[in-house]
Structure 1
Amino acid sequence: MEPPPRRMPTLDEVAERAGVSRTAASRAINNGPNVSRAKREAVERAVRELGYVPNPTARALATRKVGAVVLAASSDEAGLFADPFFAEVVVGVCAALDQSDLELILLLANTPRGRERLLHMVRSRRADGIMLMALHGDDPLGKLGEASGIPVVYGGLPMTGEPRWYVDADNRGGARLAAEHFARSGRRRPVMITGQVDQRVSVAREQGFAEGLILADIPLLDVASGDFREEGGAEAMEQLLDAHPQLDAVFTASDGMAIGALQTLRRRGRRVPEDVAVIGFNDLASARLTSPPLTTVYQPVRALGHEMARMLVGAIDGKDPSPLILPTRLTVRESAPAPTLPAATATHGSR
């Protein structure tokens, strides 16, 4: 016969082992006020010795917290969180939450059912806070922070308005770096493959690229949408080559679309970078594995998730963290190499 299941220790037993009242034990376990250091240490020792696990319902009543946060993406793509970009975000979020007692819930929230699930979690207070990503257009979730009553941190700005708490990358400045690099390299017929046109990240990267070209007095031949997908990047590159066979540079708003563009260029007999230079955006691990390796705008994707979670934890704890814009930089590889300067110019520039 199997032995009966081991009975879980109770709060009363923890209090008795620690030599404190039940109320003091509860306050110590739930990080409550008015507990001396000696009593707190005694309770923590009793918890370890007895293997006590707090009842989540009772703990929620005592602390008014449920011990969970949501990372929701306004998308109906089932494999979204397996995408290298979002996978890096999740890694960063988990690293930050590892320093807390909060659990993470992942949720796709662009379908009516997904959106209703998220709203139900808000109304029933089944989460202490929410992180929102990948909002489109006038998505009603963009106003969730105003109406939810719980902290909401946005990963990337929505198309309209500016929420109280958000973490974003310098998308506009990063795209401008790509334009400046093309200009220094002597490229004069650039095109762009943008992401989904109803996302602010796409708009910001297109604006930054166009601004950089204007400052260099270089016209932007055309822009096509690849929807942030590898397949979309390949299709957009086909369209751009058909419309502008003389193009000599392409900037894509994501590394995935750049990979698709490289495939099309190879199939159409265009050499990279000799005929066409290519620059992506994100600098994920895949950028080093393309042929040739991809020049791309680096944004700290893992740090984006980490700072979102840190900001949310701070807001849950009653703080008012400031919005954060993370820096970007250009990582130069073989798909768009650095320009080769004449010896005399290089000598002058080094002084």
Structure 2
Amino acid sequence: MPRDPASTAPTLEEVAALAGVSRSTVSRVVNRSPHVTDEAVLAVEEAIGRLGYVPNRAARSLASRKTHVVALVVPESTAKVFADPFFASVVQGIALYLADTDYTLNLLIASETDSNKIKRYLLGGNVDGALVVSHHSGDHSFANIGQSLPVVFGGRPLLEDIVDSYYVDVDNAGGARAVTQHLIESGRRRIATITGPLDMPPGVDRLSGWLSAVRGADLPDDLIEQADFTLAEATAAMRRILDRDPDVDAVFAASDQMAAGALTALRERGRRVPEDVAVAGFDGDYFSETSSPPLTTISQPATELGAKMAEVLVELMAGREVRRVTMMPTELVVRASTGS
């Protein structure tokens, strides 16, 4: 059962008793010693989560050697990471910020290996803190790491058990609402959307923004197709939309890369952009600038977001107080794909 929050703070001994290990084993886990079995690490981490135990970070710093290494964890495939300009910009921002510190960056592509292996690595004294980008709600691997290691998420976590985590995000719902409102104000009335994965915060929030705008204008809200932030899946999603309703006159895609995929499908069907169908995206990356026609989009500061993530983590690792939530601005950029 969860510990009564009104009682005194949980102790190391209580954690040891609940985990069924010795006090010294708990201390080694808290101090990220490599000389602990995987089973003991998992038992202690579970006990820490249940009791709400907060290790004394000052004591930990005296008991363990600083590595001056920061891990960037991306729970995606290698192919997706290196094909998406968002990741490149975030990594650039992180690296630029850390260049002026004593920390080096270690990139971990979490989907390419066992998630428990990544977790053991992070908690094994190999890094001083972690940044997690592009997390999914079904991935509980990093839910409790923040109990023992400073962690900052890129984007609002969806998991209920990490709602108190530190994160940096943009107003995805507000941006999606603004660009959809632009489509409405330009006279479009049958507006579709291609969402991102709905187990990820950007996918959920950008869909929410689109729904808010079309429902607020008393327009249909049934033309929804899901993709995975890739060009190929968005092209297929746009084809499905056209099959369902050939009279669609606008589409908001949850990323610029997906909006470029929508353009491909529209060209295949002989639909003109923006004369027949207006197209808008989200990100403000090179897909929006180089597509034909150039895309109306919501520009988000991905490089600055990465830098802010690194800044918050460095402050946490130094033991300083920082805000749990940092929101970055977005901007509507109107280009030829919406005709105004």
When normalised by structure 2's length, the TM-score is 0.78
What's the counterpart of residue 234 of structure 1? 235
Report whether the alignment pairs 1:143 with 2:143. yes
Alpha-carbon RMSD: 1.7
Long gaps (5+) in structure 1:
1-59, 339-351
Alpha-carbon deviations, 1:126-152, whole Å to 9, x = none?
Answer: 0000001111123113413444x1100
The 5 Å alignment of 1:55-74 reads: 64-74=65-75
When normalised by structure 1's length, the TM-score is 0.76
Q: CA deviation at 1:321?
A: 1.2
Taking the aligned partners of 1:81 and 1:144, their CA distance within structure 2 comes to 28
Stretch deviating more after TM superposition (209-218 or 273-282):
209-218
Alpha-carbon deviations, 1:24-72, whole Å to 9, x = none?
Answer: xxxxxxxxxxxxxxxxxxxxxxxxxxxxxxxxxxxx9898310100000
Stretch deviating more after TM superposition (193-202 or 247-256):
193-202
Between the two proteins, what is the percent identity of the paired residues?
A: 41
Alpha-carbon deviations, 1:180-202, whole Å to 9, x = none?
Answer: 10111000000000011211210
Taking the aligned partners of 1:114 and 1:181, their CA distance within structure 2 comes to 44
Q: Is the contact between residue 74 and residue 135 of structure 2 (CA under 8 Å) also seen in structure 1?
A: yes
What's the counterpart of residue 292 of structure 1? 293
Q: CA deviation at 1:117?
A: 3.3
Report whether the alignment pairs 1:329 with 2:331. yes
Q: 1:253 to 1:79 in 2, by over 3 A?
A: closer
The 5 Å alignment of 1:310-325 reads: 310-322=311-323, 323-325=325-327
Taking the aligned partners of 1:68 and 1:226, their CA distance within structure 2 comes to 35
Report whether the alignment pairs 1:167 with 2:160. no
Q: Which amino acid aligns with 1:337?
A: G
What's the counterpart of residue 134 of structure 1? 134
Alpha-carbon deviations, 1:89-145, whole Å to 9, x = none?
Answer: 00000111011010000011135x342332122221100000011111231134134
Report whether the alignment pairs 1:308 with 2:309. yes
**Matched position secondary structure for 2:141:** helix
**Matched position secondary structure for 2:306:** helix
Taking the aligned partners of 2:145 and 2:264, their CA distance within structure 1 comes to 41
Taking the aligned partners of 1:295 and 1:307, their CA distance within structure 2 comes to 26
Taking the aligned partners of 1:143 and 1:312, their CA distance within structure 2 comes to 17
What's the counterpart of residue 123 of structure 1? 123
Kindly name which structure, 1 or 2, has the bigger radius of gyration based on alpha carbons. 1
Taking the aligned partners of 1:172 and 1:71, their CA distance within structure 2 comes to 25
Report whether the alignment pairs 1:261 with 2:262. yes
Q: Which amino acid aligns with 1:331?
A: V
What's the counterpart of residue 157 of structure 1? 156
Q: Is the contact between residue 135 and residue 141 of structure 1 (CA under 8 Å) also seen in structure 2?
A: no
Long gaps (5+) in structure 2:
1-60
What's the counterpart of residue 245 of structure 1? 246
Taking the aligned partners of 2:79 and 2:236, their CA distance within structure 1 comes to 22
